[in-house]
Amino acid sequence: MTDFVGRRRELKELREDIARTGLDTLSGRKAKAPRARVLLVAGRPGSGRTALAEAFVREIAAQYPDGVLRTRLTAPGGDTVATERAVRALLEGLGQPTPPGAGEDELSSALRTALDGRRAIILVDDAADPQQVDALLPDNPECLVVVTAEGPLTGIPDVRPCTLGGLDTPSAVELLAQRIGDTRVTADPRAAEALAEECGGQPAALVLLGGWLAARPKASVADVAKRLHDLPAGAGGPLARGFRLVYESLPQPAQRTLRLLPLAPAGIVDSHTASALAGCSVAAAQSTLDDFAGLGLLRQAQDGLYLLPGCLAPLLQALLEAKERPGEVQLARARMLERTVRLLHSCRAMAATDEDGLRELLDGLPRALRFPDRRAAETWLDTRLPALSAAASLAVADGELDTLARRLVAALVRALADHRGTAEAAPELYGLHRLVLDVAERRDLHREQAAALLNLADLDAETGRTQEALERYRAALDAGRAANDPYATGRAMESVGGAYQELADWHRASDWFGRALSQALARGERADEARLYGRLGNVHTYAGRYGDALRSWRAAAAGYRKLADVPGQAKALSEMARVQEYAGRPEESLHTCREAVELARKAGDQRLQAALQVRLADTLDRLGDPAAARLHRSAADRLLGDDPAACEIRSTSD
């Protein structure tokens, strides 16, 4: 079923506007840089601006072979969508990676680069201000940007709005007939025209009244027109009066469910959300949502999802505030968040690789909250992610549900990491770790604060923002000390050293690795000791302090030997051999390298064996024994073939 009819004049105007000469050219001014043409569809909520924009895009899509990208700048509840999130959505639509933690400017630049040379349409729905739109505009005149908004976008040059009023009477009657069929319209065409005029041709009001009639096959168009006319004068405009008529016709339980829907994060509803909010069964909630969709109170989306129309959100919010006590609202929100946490646990459980782990994770969860298989869980996570992210943000912003908020964020982090992997989920994880940090700082939870800062800093470091990572690692160290958490402090000190190493500040790097090593030695943490000796060895090597480097690598090798970690010991010895060669001691390097080869053979690490054989060959070449060098290269080839990249040695501290 479509709710779009008429608007032929507006569609013609938009088509003509694509080719219209720019105002800068007409006025004799030269534009600073070529940018995409921006078309604006302006109209009040409920005027059908989004339907018109979608219909227009469908008409011209064939002229833009690189496709249509969509994003929304205002959530159904009225909250502005962060520009950063909108740009990420567009980049993901282009199949482009989005670095975690990247700011608005960096993402906007990446979007413009990705759209360079493409011919695509960007449909921007419900823009709140021109600054939001400006961040999305490509520097490519071959692209077209179609924006819907309530009013003009002052500040974006050369934008002439296509302003919508009500539908003409024939189109309004046609829309009504789409909802209820032709029979009742044909039986009383004058009543249909009167109803269209009573609604001012407003599509959203006609959809609601058509839904009311569709649910009552025996009611006539004149019946609903009379009911609408008889409503008190203070009932508001056509949309408000149509909504009131539909709302008051609902049973009391359905009215309450509808009133609570503004609590649904991002205006996205499914049967579990409605069930938790209303405190009813999932089956009853599903039936109610289906009824709401038939009445035009919700829009049905994919995979059991429903969207709350933005034009109805203020009306529902007013009902929520007038009819529901604050305590009941908070209880409903808590039920919804608790249900979300349990669904996330169930979703994560489906990523378990063994039956015992799966049974343990599902223990205590009712059947209604379980997924049939991993694919179903992944589909649920993907389709609900905007709502899940919004739920986490709302829970943190609430301030009174911090325990639930922390559980929700933790469950979402684990589900994303288990299903997508940390690298792929990094952009979402970055935002979630920031939410954890917000709660931890508000509640003075120093241990959680340290963990969040470490996680954020790691993501900063992985994307090349080393200075930002360094600042966060230092803040994590302070939080770890405040929490008296030796793990967090040790990890932070080592990470500070790693950041200084990345910045090529060898002196500070070795100092911080030394501090972390001292703590590990004091606590008898042998694995940490061996790793940190290796990191010190690396820094000393980069700094040219070969004596210090050899002592550190020798200590690392000894530590791995005590741990019975044969591969670790072999790699540490291979690094020793490298440093000995740098220090001009090739005979010692040859001896150490042979010892490392034997250890690698014991460990069954063919890749390491091959890499060490190549290192032996290089050393023998420098010692003037090319025949022996050829033998070792042949051995490396037999182990892994002729791919030289397979023979690269990675340091134990990497």
Rounded to the nearest 5 percent, the helix, strand and coil shares of the chain are 70, 5, 25
Q: pLDDT over 90 for what percent of the chain?
A: 65
Query: Is the C-alpha dihedral spanning 503, 508, 510, 513 positive or negative?
Result: negative
**Structure-token pair, residue 654:** 């990497």
Return the pLDDT at 23: 43
**C-alpha to C-alpha distance for 226 and 241, rounded to whole angstroms:** 12
Task: Look at residue 28 and tell me whether its pLDDT is greater than 80.
Answer: no
pLDDT at 613: 84
Residue 124's pLDDT is: 94
Q: What digits encode the pLDDT tens for the residues 522-561?
A: 999 999 999 999 999 999 999 999 999 999 999 999 999 9
Phi, psi dihedrals of residue 269, rounded to the nearest 5°: -125, 140
How confident is residue 363, by pLDDT bands cut at 50, 70 and 90?
Answer: confident
**How confident is the model over 405-429, as pLDDT tens digits?**
999 999 999 999 999 998 889 999 9
Residue 282 CB neighbours (<10 A): 17
Burial (CB < 10 A; 0-12, 13-18, 19+), residue 94, is middle
| Distance (Å) of CA 488 to CA 420, 457, 485 | 26, 13, 5
* Calpha distance 364→361 (Å, rounded): 8
Average pLDDT score over residue span 503-508:
96
Inform me whether the pLDDT recorded for 520 exceeds 90.
yes
pLDDT recorded at residue 654? 46
Instruction: Give residue 317's pLDDT band: very low, low, confident or very high (50, 70, 90).
Output: very high
Whole-model pTM above 0.85? no
Distances (CA, A) of 534 to 300, 502, 607: 58, 16, 20
Predicted confidence at residue 43, as pLDDT, reads 92
pLDDT of residue 99: 83
pLDDT band with cut points at 50, 70 and 90 for residue 651: very low
Q: What is the pLDDT of residue 356?
A: 64
User: Would residue 279 be called left, alpha or beta, if left means φ above 0 and alpha means ψ between -120 and 50 degrees?
Assistant: left
Looking only at the bridges linking them, the beta strands covering 306-307 and 299-300 are antiparallel
- Give the pLDDT confidence score for residue 233 in this predicted structure: 64
Name the nearest CA neighbour of 75 among 387, 363, 306, 347. 387
Confidence band of 652 (pLDDT split at 50, 70, 90): very low
Q: How far apart are CA 561 and CA 527, in angstroms?
A: 11
pLDDT above 70: percentage of residues in the chain: 94
**Mean of the pLDDT values across residues 569-575?**
91
> Where residue 211 falls among pLDDT bands split at 50, 70, 90?
very high
Q: And the tokens for 533?
A: 């000796």
Residue type, 549: A
Tokens 């959505």 identify what position?
A: 89
Q: What is the pLDDT of residues 275-292, one digit of tens each?
A: 999 999 999 999 999 999
Residue 164's SS3 state is coil
Check whether 1 has a pLDDT greater than 50: no
Residue partners of 143: CB distance under 8 A and separation at least 6: 36, 37, 64, 115, 118, 119, 120, 121, 122
Tokens matching residue 154: 């002052």
Residue 650, pLDDT score? 46
Closest CA to 237 of 246, 225, 228, 227: 228
Q: In this predicted structure, what is the pLDDT of residue 358?
A: 67
| Angle, alpha carbons 20-26-31 (nearest 5°) | 90
Helix (H) or strand (E) holding 333: helix 326-349
Average pLDDT over residues 499-518: 96
Please write down the HEC assignment for all residues of 27-67. CCCCCCCCCCEEEEEECCCCCCHHHHHHHHHHHHHHHCCCC
pLDDT score of 27: 39
- In the predicted model, is pLDDT for residue 21 greater than 90? no
CB 36 within 8 A of CB 144: yes
pLDDT averaged over the chain?
89
Largest CA distance in the chain: 105
Give the number of other Cβ atoms within 10 Å of residue 326's Cβ: 8
* pLDDT surpasses 60 at 31: no
pLDDT at position 649 over 70: no
Q: Is 564 helix (H, G, I), strand (E, B) or coil?
A: coil
Round to whole Å and give the CA distance between 533 and 553. Answer: 6
List C-alpha distances in Å: 298 to 127, 292, 294, 333: 21, 6, 8, 20
Q: What is the pLDDT of residues 218-268, one digit of tens each?
A: 999 998 988 888 888 666 889 999 999 999 999 999 999 999 999 999 899
